[in-house]
Amino acid sequence: MSEIRQDVTTKEWVIISTERLKRPSDFTNPMAKAERPVYSPTCPFCPGNESMTKPAVLSYSDPKTGSWLVRVVDNLYPAVTPGGGASRKVDHGFFLSASATGNHEVIIENPAHNKPLALMTDDEVATVLRAYWERYDAMADKPDIKSIIIFKNHGLAAGTSLEHPHSQLVATTIVPRHMRIQYEVAISYYDDNGRSLYAALTNRELNSGSRIVLDTKRFVVFHPFASHRPFETWIMPTDCQASFGAASKEDFPHLAHVLRLILLKLYQGLDNPDFNLVIDSAPVGEEHTEIYQWHIRIIPRITQQAGFEIGSGIYINTALPEETAKFMRDFKVKT
Ligand SMILES: [Zn+2]
């Protein structure tokens, strides 16, 4: 019999469908590790092709060779653009709209066209995290910016057609509804219990142990009780930091190791699945509240959203988080 589980952070429901349950090994995708070139002449993100992008807003260089290691540029096709202000317009007293104001940047993670985060060194991943943090900080200082979303789309099913490893940052003058709901749920829990929902959730997962993938004391990695999709993975800091902007940079080498190891387990264990990675963070200005806890969510795109999910808002997950977490916990990476 299937079970319906509630996500404690959003109150959303997820059906864990044991009728159609798949084993972790059913999700592998042996075609996805095809050889790719280290350089592509038509790729706008490859070294030598910098004129195909906008100028860099941030660039880290190798002190020995002078060549860039990470490069951040404005997106050529931005979802939001600077300068429109935050004011809302009301059309006929009914519809609400505003300029799509903000910044949309691309973080080119590495010069190599064929080196995903999972195959980088810990130092290379730490440099990417440093770029995320610096651009977050720069955006949080801008007037009217209310939310900053850092995310990564890896593979066609995750929404990208560009192979070269890259992430994106979108800073907007609105707080998205999804973020607002998470935040309101966290406030309500805090009011009722006098402590952070996210600290309670992490403790609960540690005590249970069945959905833990990795515990390094500084970061706890687990598959949530109500995972929306198979192998959904959360990386949760154990220090109270509401916003990624409040994350401690001293932690980045350690976080880089944890993130790379988890991505490598997915890369080797599921044969390089398409995935989305998102950094959930409190709204700008709420960096130091105890109410929220920034965290990384990795969502492999190995199943499709279907009509029931669109109609109901209820996800159907065909894998048990306890089984997928065990698979990931036990999986030994090959180096
Ligand atoms: Zn490239």
CA of 7 to the centre of ligand 1 (A): 38
pLDDT, average across residues 316-324: 95
- 72 touches 129 (CB < 8 A): no
Q: Could you give the 3-state DSSP secondary structure of residue 50?
A: helix
Q: How far is the CA of 77 from the centre of ligand 1 (A)?
A: 18
* pLDDT band at 30; cut points 50, 70, 90: low
| CA 78–ligand 1 middle distance (angstroms) | 20
The pLDDT of residue 204? 97
Per-residue pLDDT, 31: 57
Distance 50 CA to ligand 1 centre (A): 10
Structure tokens at 114: 């064929």
HSE-CB for 265 with a 13 A CA cutoff: 21
Distance 112 CA to ligand 1 centre (A): 7
Amino acid at residue number 184: E
Measure the CA–CA gap between 181 and 22, rounded to whole angstroms. Answer: 31
Could you report the per-residue pLDDT of 229-285, keeping only the tens digit for each?
999 999 999 999 999 999 999 999 999 999 999 999 999 999 999 999 999 999 999
Give the per-residue pLDDT at 287.
Answer: 87
Task: Quote the percentage of the chain above a pLDDT of 90.
Answer: 81
pLDDT band at 21 (very low <50, low <70, confident <90, very high): low
Residue 150 near residue 136 (C-beta atoms within 8 A): yes
List, in order, residues 6 or more apart from 235 with CB less than 8 Å away.
219, 220, 221, 255, 258, 259, 262, 295, 296, 298
Decide: pTM greater than 0.75: yes
Q: pLDDT-based confidence at 20, cuts 50/70/90?
A: low
Q: How far is the CA of 36 from the centre of ligand 1 (A)?
A: 10
Q: Tell how far the Cα of 150 is from the centroid of ligand 1, in angstroms.
A: 21
Q: Output the pLDDT for position 87.
A: 87
Q: How far, in Å, from the CA of 332 to the mean position of ligand 1?
A: 30
Average pLDDT over residues 78-82: 93
Q: In residues, how long is the chain?
A: 335
Local structure of residue 159 (DSSP, 8 states): T
Long-range contacts of the stretch 141-145 (C-beta < 8 A, 24+): 142/103, 142/171, 144/85, 144/86, 144/101, 144/173, 145/102, 145/103, 145/171, 145/172, 145/173, 145/284
108 Cα: distance to centroid of ligand 1 (angstroms): 9
Strand arrangement, sheet containing 219-222 = 56-61, 68-74, 102-108, 166-172, 147-154, 275-280, 295-300, 233-237, 219-222, 212-215
Spacing, Cα 163 to ligand 1 middle (Å): 7
Beta bridge partners of 98: 88
Q: How far is the CA of 40 from the centre of ligand 1 (A)?
A: 5
Give tens-digit pLDDT for 237-247. Answer: 999 999 999 99
Q: Where are the beta strands (DSSP E) in the chain?
A: 3-6, 13-16, 56-61, 68-74, 88-91, 95-98, 102-108, 147-154, 166-172, 212-215, 219-222, 233-237, 275-280, 295-300, 315-317
- For 162-192, write each residue's pLDDT tens digit: 899 999 999 999 999 999 999 999 999 999 9
In the reported structure, the alpha carbon of residue 130 is separated from the centroid of ligand 1 by a whole-number distance in angstroms of 21
Closest CA to 329 of 214, 216, 197: 214
pLDDT number for residue 230: 95
Q: pLDDT tens-digit profile of 32-52?
A: 667 889 999 999 999 999 999
What pLDDT, on a 0 to 100 scale, did the predictor assign at position 85? 82
pLDDT at 179 (0 to 100): 92
C-alpha 125 to ligand 1 mean position (Å): 17
Residue 333: pLDDT band (50, 70, 90) is very high
The rounded Å distance from CA 41 to ligand 1 centre is: 8
Residue that the structure tokens 């300068």 belong to: 83
Q: How far is the CA of 49 from the centre of ligand 1 (A)?
A: 9
Selection from 330, 322, 129, 117 nearest residue 222 by Cα: 322
Amino acid at 36: R
Map tokens 């004129």 to a residue. 51
Segment 191-233, tens digit of pLDDT: 999 999 999 999 999 999 999 999 999 999 999 999 999 999 9
Question: Rounded distance, CA 47 to CA 41, Å?
Answer: 9
Q: Where are the alpha helices (DSSP H) in 227-306?
A: 252-269
Encode pLDDT of 97-143 as tens digits: 988 999 999 999 999 999 999 999 999 999 999 999 999 999 999 98
pLDDT category, 334, cuts 50, 70, 90? very high
